[in-house]
Amino acid sequence: MEAIYILWMRQLKRYFRSKSRIVGALGQPLLFLLALGYGFGSVFRAAGQGNYIQFLVPGVIAMTVLFTSVFNGMEIIWDKQFGFLKETLVAPVPRFVIMIGRTLGGATVAVFQGLVVLGLSFLVGFRTPHLLGIPMAIGFMFLLSLVFAALGTAIASVLEDMQGFQLSMNLIVQPLFFLSGALFPLKGLPTVLHYVTAVNPLSYGVDALRSALIDMSHFGMATDLVVLGAGAVVFTVIGGRLFGKIQA
Amino acid sequence: MITVRNLTKKFKNLVAVVKISFEVARGEVFAFLGPNGAGKTTTIKMLTTLLIPTSGEIRLNGYDPVTEQDAVRRSFGIVFQDPSLDNQLTAYENMDIHAVLYKVPRSGRKARIEDLLRLVQLWERRNDKVEKFSGGMKRRLEIARGLLHHPAILFLDEPTLGLDPQTRNLIWEHVKELNRSEGVTVFLTTQLMEEAERMTDKIAIIDHGRIAAQGSPQELKEQTKTTSLEQAFLALTGSTIREEEAGSGDRLRAWLAMRRGGR
């Protein structure tokens, strides 16, 4: 148990000591909020869909959580190449415990980053109808970040270098984000897109955040919860397996 | 303390280690010498549970690294060839993580960390990020960390690589001292023959994945009819230069350099 705690703590320390990472990670969400939020605002309203900023904020938070938690995998590669990973791999601690500590750490960082974006979104005019939505949103952010921190671990476990990781991340993360309903409503999509969004776990994360923060849901909160919970378990198991197989 | 029988490791397209056998007694300082790419690091990785052998048998402190990983992992401390510290954390925090991972009892933890940091003369710098440390300081910190959990065996994979003579001497003094005071068995690799000659009780020379000779420095010199270990080493391994595949650390540095240059 203490091993999980100390590895979790390590992730947080590394994050809070890297000011550039905190600030740098906020650039993209802000850009999306301002450029898309204000840019498409009038079109969205004219189409009878209401306030686009309200609609977009949960999507951008989900994006932030997705990118930050997947970055957890990048840290594994980093540790592989700078050596610290070996220190943990030869320790008399089950690999699964190490993976859990790291994943929880990465997930916590992602939730924190998501909360910062939520805070910023209040500055650009976002309003949540009831404050109870915020703790619920935190819970969903955490589940969502577990799913993708574990996915990052799984991918990082089988890859050797940064280039490979960045490439596969671009191939996986960008489509996950753009095909999740983070930017557009899921109702009335063409058939292909409908199915693609339905099998994308991020869609359920975006939807869950929307139902918590702006009382608007496509799948229903219960479905979101089940899908995200199952996703977290499945990816943690897969990530744990692959992480356990790393030979240095 | 360490027994190796017919140990072999094959990778996809090369055989790194072929049927090697050797023994290291308790309290001994043992050197594993060989040219680049001879199989030294691969052997250490198999001994320390990081690689699974293709065939052969290993007993380390009485345990099997394949089937009794945790017992083996508690038995040794290691200083890897490439640094394995977290640069963003302080010296003390690096020690503390190790103490937790190796279940060093919480009551004695602080005192043990302080003792070791004082021993390697880093106590005053305990709250500095490792990032700010020189190569020699990092090595000393890694040695201190490797000893934290009172291991029976200390592996040192080229611990003095890239260090100046002053730091090298300091490190070897520490190692000798620890070997005496804690009775720890030392398994080391180095490219510096005079270090090996001065430090060790027993040497095995590995070349092309096979053991070329083993014995005390004196025995190896007698066996090859030479007057220094360096000459004995060259007599046993020849003087052709070996090509080695770059390690992942080198590849990362090359990549970072490329990225910097590209911008």
Give the model's pLDDT for residue A97: 93
Tokens matching residue B18? 């072929």
A87 in reach of chain B (CB within 8 A): yes
Q: Which residues of chain B have pLDDT under 70?
A: 239-263
What strands lie across the sheet with B15-24, from one edge to the other? Answer: B15-24, B2-10, B55-60
Contact B84 A87 (CB under 8 A): yes
Q: Which residue of A has its CA nearest to B97?
A: A6
**How far is Cα B86 from Cα A235, in angstroms, rounded to an integer?**
27
Q: Is A174 helix (H, G, I), strand (E, B) or coil?
A: helix
**How far is Cα A45 from Cα A38, in angstroms, rounded to an integer?**
11
Q: Which residue of B has its CA nearest to A246?
A: B50
Amino acid, single-letter form, for residue B241: I
Q: Which residues in chain A (150-209) have CB-CB distances under 8 A to chain B?
A: 160-163
Is residue B86 a contact partner of residue B130, using CB atoms and an 8 Å limit? yes
Contact B98 A160 (CB under 8 A): no
Contacts of B248 in chain A (CB under 8 A): 80-81, 160-161
Give the CA angle between residues B206, B210, B214 to the nearest 5°.
Answer: 50
- Is the whole-model pTM more than 0.90? no
Amino acid, single-letter form, for residue B253: R
Contacts of B100 in chain A (CB under 8 A): 2-3, 5-6
**How far is Cα B47 from Cα B3, in angstroms, rounded to an integer?**
10
Tokens matching residue B13? 């397209």
- Other CB atoms within a 10 A radius of the CB of residue A65 amount to 32
Amino acid, single-letter form, for residue B99: A
Is residue B204 a contact partner of residue B214, using CB atoms and an 8 Å limit? yes
A88 in reach of chain B (CB within 8 A): yes
Give the model's pLDDT for residue B262: 42
Contact A17 B84 (CB under 8 A): no
Q: Which of B170, B175, B212 is nearest to B32 (CA)?
A: B212
Is residue A147 a contact partner of residue A228, using CB atoms and an 8 Å limit? yes
Strand-strand pairing, B2-10 and B15-24: antiparallel
Is residue A25 a contact partner of residue A68, using CB atoms and an 8 Å limit? yes
Q: How far is B74 from chain A (nearest CA, A)?
A: 6
Winning range, highest mean pLDDT, from A81-90, A100-109, B234-243: A100-109
Give the model's pLDDT for residue A82: 83
How far apart, in Å, do the first and last CA atoms of chain A sit? 25
* Range with the poorest average pLDDT among A19-33, A94-108, A142-156: A19-33
Best residue in A5, A13, A22, A81 for a mutation probing chain B (most B CBs within 10 Å): A81
Tokens matching residue B21? 């056998």
Q: How far is B137 from chain A (nearest CA, A)?
A: 16
Contact A160 B248 (CB under 8 A): yes
Residue A248 clears pLDDT 70, i.e. is over it: no
Contacts of B104 in chain A (CB under 8 A): none
Give the model's pLDDT for residue B239: 67
**How far is Cα B21 from Cα B36, in angstroms, rounded to an integer?**
20
Torsion on CA atoms A60, A65, A66, A69, rounded to nearest 10 = 160
Give the model's pLDDT for residue B243: 58
Contact A88 B103 (CB under 8 A): no
Tokens matching residue B122? 């880093």
CB–CB contacts below 8 A, A to B: 87
Give the CA angle between residues A122, A123, A125 to the nearest 5°.
Answer: 65
Q: What tens digit of pLDDT does each residue of A34-78 get?
A: 899 888 888 888 888 888 889 999 999 999 999 999 988 888 988
Q: Helices A52-82 & A162-178, crossing angle to 10 degrees?
A: 160
Q: Is B4 helix (H, G, I), strand (E, B) or coil?
A: strand
Q: How far is A92 from chain B (nearest CA, A)?
A: 5
Complete DSSP assignment for A32-62: IIIIIHHHTHHHHHHTT---HHHHHHHHHHH
Contact B83 A161 (CB under 8 A): no
Q: Which residue is listed with tokens 């990549």? A: B255
Q: Which of A153, A137, A121, A123 is nearest to A211 (CA)?
A: A137
| Mean pLDDT of all residues in A13-34 | 88
**How far is Cα B212 from Cα B206, in angstroms, rounded to an integer?**
5
Closest CB to A81 among B86, B88, B249: B249
Q: Which CATH architecture has domain B2-262?
A: 3-Layer(aba) Sandwich (3.40)
Q: Is B167 helix (H, G, I), strand (E, B) or coil?
A: helix
Closest CB to B80 among A83, A93, A94: A83
Closest CB to B45 among A7, A87, A248: A248
Q: Helices A52-82 & B248-262, crossing angle to 10 degrees?
A: 130
Q: Where are the domains of chain A?
A: 2-244
Tokens matching residue A63? 């994006």
Best residue in B103, B248, B255, B258 for a mutation probing chain A (most A CBs within 10 Å): B248
Q: How far is B35 from chain A (nearest CA, A)?
A: 21
Q: Which residues in chain A (2-41) have CB-CB distances under 8 A to chain B?
A: 2-3, 5-7, 10, 13-14, 17-18
Q: Which of A183, A181, A199, A159 is nearest to A70 (CA)?
A: A159
CA distances from A24 to A20, A21, A167, B92 (A): 6, 5, 20, 29
Residues in chain A: 248
Q: What tens digit of pLDDT does each residue of A111-170 get?
A: 999 999 999 999 888 888 888 899 999 999 999 999 999 999 999 998 878 888 888 888
**How far is Cα B82 from Cα A59, in angstroms, rounded to an integer?**
42
Q: How far is B91 from chain A (nearest CA, A)?
A: 13
Q: How far is A91 from chain B (nearest CA, A)?
A: 6
Contacts of B76 in chain A (CB under 8 A): 90
